[in-house]
Amino acid sequence: MRLTEEDMKKNGSSDLPEEAEESVEEKLRHRESFSQKERIRMDRQVFSSLDTGGKIQYLIDYYKWVPVALAALVLVISVVATSVRNAKKVTLFQAILVDTVAMENITADSDGTTRLQEDLKAIMGPDDPNSAVIIDTSYYTANGALSYDSSMMESVRMAAGELDVEIIPKFLYDFYSGTSVSEDAASVFADSEEYESQEEEILYGERKITDRYMPVSALMGEEFAAKYSDLILDGGCGILLGTDNAGLAGYDIYGKKADEPMVLAICVNAPHPEQVAAFIRFMGFE
């Protein structure tokens, strides 16, 4: 909003002598013809005559770049502060739970996965406010295998060496170990152009469970493996949790299929093996 003759009259400049008022009017009409110094002096003269509302509007109209610059500055500061905070955070342990349902417990202060994270944090890093435990239950199977989105996310995180533990349905463990392939798993590719070239591999291909998961004995020791030999599955990389594991049920976390047992598997490149051992003990295995 340019200051005009009318603005001046509304804000007291009408008290000027007629000659002076006409002189200002004339200057306003030909404002751009004056030097920058004269224009600044004119702006100050008119600005001082405005009330508070008029002054605010004047600043907004004449200096639109100021609020934009301030907003940009605030954004930059916020991004930098967030980056600094994130850089200080340390991940103690990461697990993904496939085909699990975190039931809402109305008597609890928070949802099951949050409570589980908090309790694990109290064991793994109680004195470090910048450390975190991550439990992710957003992974699901479809037609006997990981869903496309889940498979993509899991592959990236596995390759990046982020994951410590996976809790998966037994049929998925069996597929990875090559001990069995369900018809549902095979049918995932049945309608695809690649099916013919992949059929043999899907149904009869040799898969090594140790390409994905670490033998339990390698982390927990031979004595542990002998003690729980009846729960350690073929391939030696999975601990059978059953269909209603007390450790998970205590946090209102259950398998999506009530008749499908869940398996705890240690990721082959787990970045925090000492915390994995603590988690296995937390789940009731001593």
DSSP string of 110-137, one letter each residue: S-HHHHHHHHHHHHH-TT-TTEEEEEEE
**Which pLDDT score, from 0 to 100, does residue 23 have?**
54
The mean predicted confidence, pLDDT, of the chain is: 78
Instruction: List the Cα angle 128/129/132 in 5-degree steps.
Output: 85
Domain total of the chain: 2
Output 19 or 115, whichever has higher pLDDT. 115
Same domain, 146 and 46: no
- The string of pLDDT tens digits covering residues 175-207 is 888 755 555 555 544 554 544 555 555 555 556
- How many CB atoms are located within 10 Å of the residue 41 CB? 13
Mean pLDDT of 212-223: 95
Same domain, 262 and 170: yes
Element (H, E) at 186: helix 183-187
pTM: 0.63
Q: Domain span at residue 276?
A: 89-282
Residue 240 scores a pLDDT above 60: yes
Output 266 or 111, whichever has higher pLDDT. 266
Same domain, 10 and 150: no
Same domain, 170 and 30: no
Instruction: Give which of 267, 264, 243 is closest to 255, Cα–Cα.
Output: 243
- Does 73 reside within a domain? no
Residue 17 scores a pLDDT above 50: no
Residue ranges of the alpha helices (H) in 11-64? 18-29, 36-48, 52-62
Same domain, 43 and 94: no
**Which pLDDT score, from 0 to 100, does residue 206 have?**
58
Same domain, 167 and 137: yes
- Does 81 reside within a domain? no
- The string of pLDDT tens digits covering residues 132-143 is 999 999 999 887
- Does 21 reside within a domain? yes
**Which pLDDT score, from 0 to 100, does residue 14 have?**
46
- The string of pLDDT tens digits covering residues 18-77 is 444 445 556 555 656 667 777 677 777 776 777 777 766 766 666 666 666 677 777 777
Among the listed ranges 48-52, 169-173, 220-224, which one has the minimum average pLDDT value?
48-52
Element (H, E) at 281: helix 273-282
Same domain, 44 and 170: no
Residue 5 scores a pLDDT above 60: no
Residue 129 scores a pLDDT above 50: yes
